[in-house]
Every structure is written in C-alpha cells, then in structure tokens.
Amino acid sequence: MQRTFTDEIKYQFKTGNLLTKLILLNVGVFLIMAILMLVMYLNNTPKNFIADNILEVFAPNGMIRHNLTHPWSPFIYMFLHLSFWHLLIQMVLLYFTGQLYLQHLDEKKLLNTYIFGGLAGFIFYFAAMNLFPVFEGKQMYYLHGASAATMALLVAVTFHLPRLEVMFFGVFPIKLIIVALLFIMLDLVAIPNDNRGARIAHLGGALYGIWASGFFKKPSFILNRFDLTDLFSPARWFRKSSKLKVKHSNNKRPISDEVYNDRKAATQKRVDDILDKINRSGYESLTKEEKEFLFNSHKNV
C-alpha cells in the first residue's frame, strides 16, 4: 500500500535518522510560518508588519526585557526562517555537515552541537548588541535562522577531523578546513556591512564549534552528558514508566522441561506468524502488541 505524502513525512520523522528529523523540523516551521504570513497578507496586513509580528513572538533580539519575557526565543530562533533562500542555504549546509557527523561521530554530538552552537550564537549576538557602540539603538533587530548552529556544526567537525577531505561539487577534493576557514573569513569581512549583528552570531557558533571539538572524545565533559535525542523520538514522548513494583524472590518454583519446551514452541510459532505477516504486508502492518512481542522475543534470545 502506497503511503500518502503526509504519512511519508510522519514515517520519516518516526523512523529517520536525527539529521532527517532536524531538516524536517526546519522545513516544517518554515511552512507553518509561510501559511501564517499568507493568512495575514490576505487580511491586508502590511508585509513588514507580518514579519515583525512573527519575529516578535518567536525570535530573540538584543533587548533584555524582550528576552526575559520571551524565554523560548533563544531556542526557537535556530529553527525559524522566513526566506526560502535562507532556509535552502542552511539546509544544504546542515545536510552536508550532518552527513559527516553520522559517518565520523554520532547523532548525539550532531544535535548537541546544533543546539548549543545556536545558543552560543545568540549569546555572542546579545553581548555584541549591548557592548559595541556601533550597534547602539539597534537592539530591537531580531535574530533568526540556523546559521549559527550550522556554523558550529561545520567548524566543530572540521577541527575534530582537520585532515578530512571532501568532494567540492562532486568534482575535485578539498580539505574541509579550507571550507570552514572560508566561511569564517566571509563572516568576518561582512561585519562592517551587517548592521543587525547576525554575522556576530555566526562567529559565536564558530567559536563554540572550535571549543566543543576538543571535548568530542571526552565522555565526562559536562555537555557530552546531555542527550537531547529523546526530544526527536516521538515513541518516547508518551512512554510511561511502570508504577508496578516487582518483588524478586529466590524461592522460584522450577518448571518442568515439558512445560518449558511447550512455552518455547508457542513463542516460536507466534514469532513465525508475525514474520509471515511482515513478508505479506510489511512491518507497518503489525499491531503495537505484535511489534513489542517481536522485539522482546529477540531480546530474550
């Protein structure tokens, strides 16, 4: 049975790797915002007013009061894009760097670097807006987009694997560190033309990446102890811990070989029936109880 587009998205978010889920989340937020902006536009709301209202709710800026009254904004802004081209560029970079994490590191470091790199970008942006005179009176500008997070990903994996080469446009090899340094240089030279502080946020993400890369091989490092991957595992959101208390006893009554063999045969027959169902209709045709039974039977082998 062919899945619908909506079912395919749900399936990918449920079973895909963390990189796929990150990209889907960014694209999903963009589509929601695009629909919201369309509705506001059809109600004759000025375009600038539309964007400003969305950013006011979901994005941080350089003002202390705004960020205190919108404490979620430093976490949401790194998934928020209002321009298709901004989204496209960031998702290409996210996919490119994310593949390197899946090949050479792991999903946990991918997500931690994305989130903490994005937060570092906000911290540097906020500090710059309030410390440097050139940004005086511009603290109301909002920060949005995944640039700081993706910059952190790129720089962290580069400094972790400084000799790694990648295929540039699939044609010729180039050292990854050259790519990372090029991105950093472009942000540095663009600062005088950036009156909103976004480039500072990019460099904040890059500096976090340099710092974090030194701890990738140290499990005891405090940030490596955070495992945020459960946030992207829908099956675990609703998992309830059992309130039943199991009392173990050393006085278990032994079972006979006949009873044991009967139970084993019944379990094997159930497993065979489930496997036949998978061959006929696919894994998704199984009920929740059948999936759990199959999983537990393999675990107990």
Instruction: Pinpoint the alpha helices (H) of 59-106.
Output: 64-69, 73-76, 84-104
What is the CATH T-level fold of the domain 5-237, as seen in this structure? Rhomboid-like fold (1.20.1540)
Maximum distance among all Cα pairs of the chain, rounded to whole angstroms: 85
3-class state of residue 91 by DSSP: helix
147 closest CA partner among 188, 106, 183: 183
pTM (2 decimals)?
Answer: 0.73
CA torsion angle 126 131 133 138 (round to 10): 20
Cα torsion through 238, 239, 243, 246, rounded to 10: 170
- The two counts, helices (H) then strands (E), for the chain are 13, 2
pLDDT tens track, the chain, 301 positions? 566 767 666 666 666 788 999 999 999 999 999 998 888 888 888 877 888 888 999 999 999 999 999 999 999 999 999 999 999 999 999 999 999 998 988 888 999 999 999 999 999 999 999 999 988 888 889 999 999 999 999 999 999 998 888 877 667 788 999 999 999 999 999 998 876 789 999 999 999 999 988 887 777 666 667 677 777 665 554 454 445 554 555 554 566 666 677 777 778 778 777 777 776 666 667 777 777 777 777 655 5
Q: How many Cα atoms sit within 13 Å of 163 on the Cβ side?
A: 0
